[in-house]
Amino acid sequence: MTGDSTPRPRRPERLKRSQWIGLLVGLVVFLVPLGAQFFGMPLPGLSEPGHRIFSVFLLAIVLWVSEAIPLHATATVIILLEILLVSDKALLPIPEGFDAAPYKSYFATLAHPILMLFLGGFFLADGAAKFDLDRNLARVMLKPFGRSPRKIMLGLMLITAVFSMFMSNTATTATMMMVVLPVINGLPPGDRMRVALALCIPVAANVGGIGTPIGTPPNAIALGALTKEGINIGFLQWMIMAVPFVLVILLAAWLLLLVLFRGSQQAIELKIESSFATSWPAKVFYVTAAATIVLWLTEKLHGMSSSIVGFIPVVVLLSTRVFTTKDLQSIQWHVLWLVAGGIALGSGVGASGLDTWLIGLVSWEQVPAAMLIGVLALVALVFSTFISNSATANLLVPIGISLAMSPAIGINPLLAGVFIAIGASLAMAMPVSTPPNAIAVSTGIIRTKDMAIVGVLIGAFGWALFVLVAPRLWELMGVMPS
């Protein structure tokens, strides 16, 4: 036998028909605004840089919706096109009076402070999985819930939600599914509690991510856009705003699952076999993770921003070799790039005046402020049901914040940014809505119909709760910056 035994690289998967269509449509919509400007038929009231960014914006919409190329690849396309079209190194002449941003500022979005916050979260999440901390905590935290199926399901939801606040909701769901599947398999085949237990994990993972800035990418996208407008929300401040609502939604979801999927068993056995790692690297990780979370929660006391705190575990775990090169390679860099693309798109939309032009197309002053906030959250919820919640937030957050800040509207931009992020996270009606949903459906226990009913009801309840209650409550609590 001759030849090199090195495995050959895998060939890229062939594009589906829908992806080819997405590429074609993306190219067409990209050329329309540019062509209109080039052939002397500009869109009324839109600046020349606005036409260029409008092309990028439309292309991003088509590529993110069709997934003709990976979501994170679309983010890199956005950054490159903005450099080539509207930066100080643009290939096309920059009109007089337009303050072109340095090309370095678009590259700098790949190291935006919000990304450092998320990177720290990824290190903690991957470390928890590496040292089995997640399974061990689940074992310890589930003990007080006894053997009652109802109480165990409540315990599973609370633990999943807490994990999802600090870990990837995908990793959280995969971990907790390993915990709950043996329990489900121990129930009779026709017992409806099987469906409830399988559904409660993705529901709790989706809702729990709302609770912290690092819980889900839409939160980071909203924070990045708000920071650009001078509105800074601390880690603890976000939790004070979000966690009470997360708990209420979880309680409502638990009751809904109990009503829809009544079980026949009075007691079930929950066995989770694992033990806490006691190696030196594990102990370093435990101390680092605990210190990071404490520093996040005490930001006002020490004055370090949450992004700086988030970079601490990166430095410590790499310097102490607790994280190896292989661990570093497993970090979800594609998510960071996706968020960076959203931040870059928001910067371009604002700098070119495209946001003002888009807002001016509708007489928003006729819409009550409370209704407008609700509409933004609802649009995010609907969009995110069928496309990535990160893509939804990337597209809607810049427009929503600009709309809120326009003189004709005059509402708190924090509400627009946060509610769009939350609306995107509340979308969980379809298997494609979120990775946790896809993982749960892959077990074969859940029907799409059951997931749709539960997802629509929880999404609608969460939307109404935030829109009708949150603004007034946050104002009374004094946690909503002006």
Q: What is the arithmetic mean of pLDDT over 249-268?
A: 87
Span 235-262, average pLDDT: 93
Rounded mean pLDDT, 324-345: 85
Say yes or no to pLDDT of 482 above 60.
no
Q: Is the pLDDT of residue 8 over 80?
A: no
Residue 248, pLDDT score:
96
Q: Residue 365 class from Cβ within 10 Å (0-12 exposed, 13-18 middle, 19+ buried)?
A: exposed
65-78 tens-digit pLDDT: 788 888 889 889 99
pLDDT at 367 over 80: no
Q: Is the pLDDT of residue 1 over 50?
A: no
- Closest to 420 (Cα-Cα) out of 215, 165, 169, 218: 218
pLDDT at position 5 over 60: no
Residue 59: the pLDDT is 93
More confident residue, 405 or 314: 314
Rounded average pLDDT over 219-246: 89
**Confidence at residue 193, expressed as pLDDT on a 0 to 100 scale:** 87
pLDDT tens, residue by residue, 99-111: 888 999 999 989 8
Position 184 pLDDT exceeds 90 = no
Poorest-confidence range of 7-11, 135-139, 295-299, 382-386? 7-11
393 burial level (CB within 10 Å; 0-12, 13-18, 19+): buried
Tell me the range of 21-35, 127-141, 219-233 where mean pLDDT is highest. Answer: 21-35
Q: What is the band of 269 on the pLDDT scale with cuts at 50, 70, 90?
A: low
Calculate mean pLDDT across residues 84-89: 93
% of the chain exceeding 70 in pLDDT:
93
What's the confidence (pLDDT) of residue 270?
64
| pLDDT the model gives residue 343 | 80
Q: What is the pLDDT of residue 2?
A: 44
**Would the pLDDT of 242 be above 60?**
yes
pLDDT, mean over the chain: 84
